[in-house]
Structure 1
Amino acid sequence: MELHEEIRKLENVRKDSTNKVFTMYLNTDPSDPEQQGGEWKIHLKNGLRNFEQYLVEDDDKEELKNFQLVQQKVEKYVRVNEQNFRKGIILFATADETVWFAIRVQLRLKTEFFWENAPVTEQFKQLYASFPKSGVILVQQDQVKVVEAEIGDILDTAYYELDIETDHWRQFTGPHKADASMGKGGKSLKQDEFQDRYEANKQRWYKSIAPKLDKRAKDKGWEEIYIIGESDASQEIRAQMNKPVDKVIQKNMLEHEESKVLEEVFG
């Protein structure tokens, strides 16, 4: 399920007074100065214990039983995933399992715990508003790379390379080190010869790949689109696409790690 749909689904949940919803935002970012000693473990332990103590004092045996069931599920999830933590965990759960959503995110969270009749989604919504499902298009002459991301997490990557003799863009499923001066049959073009062809044909080249990018944006449900590349290439791709582009960044980052690309886009 798409995250924005998951948020809408959670916002419609309402439970009774004994079968409440547990909401957790847990900061597990190892680069956070306040997390150097694994303080998240203390925060988690204290957060769960505080709710349990309150329910014991309130003498509501049914609600306490439900909370303890949720507590066990939360502790198991954390234990199983501890070696693969990122920067934070978002989790929603009920004892009857009608609500269970847990995701490890590559964004720092503000640690918060709630035990209420409805999920507390504010922080989740704020994160998604800042980092919605997006497509980042990196272009470098006859090479195009697409990075798809959501709330700081890389969902997919696609690579395209143009055969400049046939004018056909070929897609690769994995990382591909394209050679910008390779023509048909692998014959190497001199740099000045390639540059002449690029200047003469770039509009036609980008016009031929733009429909592929538009279709990908539609099929994948991108809410924002970013283009990164040198001025002429990035602006030409933008001009040829039908989908609106939110921002153009005039840098050559095609060979950079995806995480660095996302930092450039989302800061």
Structure 2
Amino acid sequence: MDLVKKLQQVKDMYDEKGILTIYLSTDQTSNDQQKGEWKIRLKNGLKKLDEYNNLSSIENCKTFKNVQRKALDAIKSIQLELPRGIVLVAFPNGDIYLKKLQLQVENEFHWEKKPITKQLEKIKSNYPKEGILFLQKENVYMIETSLAEVTQEYSFELEVESNDWKQYEGLAARERKASGASHRDKFEQRLDANKLRWYKQLSDEINGKIKQNSIENLYLVGEKEIVSEFQKMLNIKKVTVIQKNYANLTSKQMIDQIVAS
């Protein structure tokens, strides 16, 4: 379940015994994290909560320790594949919500009767659904992203013989091989005469996906001339043009450089 839906579920939950909320930075690319400092911060953050609960009722302290143990087990289960940050909400009945984020988070530890979702809501607001369009003469790649993660990928390949774009989906979308020389020659001969019609045809498809999937921001990457033509045909207010060559990057690497940087 995605963050938006889960946030709506957990934000109004209540438990008299207490609910544990953890925001933990685990970014291994950060200089202060490469020696496992996240483990120390996790230990110290939970220790402070434990000390606080020791001053309250014995029953409350017992509940906290049980929830804490289950939370630690959940975090340890993913320690070999740590993202940049994690958000965890743990309940006395044993339910746990753990979200791995490819984004930085501020370290926070809470033991309250309701989940503390303020930072989660801020993250959701700062990182709406976005799209990246990588435009080439014969191929257009579209990456949909939420919270700096790939949610969907599409590839549109122009077939000169049929005067139409063929769509591919999923991970295989960016594994298409470049066309042969004879195909490119034929394409170049017909490009000037047909490019506006071809781009308009594809832009209608892209605009449909933007509307259907509630994409708020769009990044256009590619050759200046193609990007300029295509931008005029898009029905979205927030467009950022990036003039760099990302041809050799994976979708995740593109997102890391464009969205999460």
TM-score by length of 1: 0.86
Equivalent residue number for residue 114 of structure 2: 118
> Which runs of structure 2 are paired with 1:220-231 in the superposition (5 Å)?
220-231=213-224
> Which of 175, 191, 197 pairs up with 1:198?
191
Equivalent residue number for residue 52 of structure 1: 50
> Which runs of structure 2 are paired with 1:33-182 in the superposition (5 Å)?
33-58=31-56, 60-97=57-94, 100-173=96-169, 174=172, 175-179=174-178
Identify unmatched segments of 5+ residues in structure 2: none
1:15 partner SS: coil
Work out whether residues 216 and 238 of structure 2, in 8 Å CA contact, stay in contact via their aligned partners in 1: no
2:128 partner SS: coil
Work out whether residues 145 and 254 of structure 1, in 8 Å CA contact, stay in contact via their aligned partners in 2: no
Alignment partners' CA distance in 2, 1:242 and 1:160: 19
Identify unmatched segments of 5+ residues in structure 1: none
In structure 2, give the amino acid aligned to 1:75.
Answer: L
Alignment partners' CA distance in 2, 1:226 and 1:155: 15
Alignment partners' CA distance in 1, 2:14 and 2:233: 47
In structure 2, give the amino acid aligned to 1:31.
Answer: T
2:87 partner SS: strand
Change (3 A) 1:181 1:197: farther
Shift of 1:266: 4.7
Tell whether 2:32 aligns with 1:14.
Answer: no
Shift of 1:180: 5.0
Residue identity over aligned pairs, in percent, reads: 28
Alignment partners' CA distance in 2, 1:22 and 1:103: 14
Shift of 1:102: 0.9
Alignment partners' CA distance in 2, 1:237 and 1:254: 18
Equivalent residue number for residue 241 of structure 2: 248
Shift of 1:120: 1.7
Equivalent residue number for residue 215 of structure 1: 208
Tell whether 2:23 aligns with 1:25.
Answer: yes
In structure 1, give the amino acid aligned to 2:110.
Answer: F
Equivalent residue number for residue 257 of structure 1: 250
In structure 2, give the amino acid aligned to 1:177.
Answer: R
Shift of 1:82: 1.0
Q: Which moved more, 1:139-148 or 1:129-138?
A: 129-138
Alignment partners' CA distance in 2, 1:181 and 1:237: 25
In structure 1, give the amino acid aligned to 2:178.
Answer: D
Alignment partners' CA distance in 1, 2:8 and 2:191: 47
Over aligned residues, Cα RMSD in angstroms?
Answer: 2.3
TM-score by length of 2: 0.87
Alignment partners' CA distance in 2, 1:124 and 1:153: 16
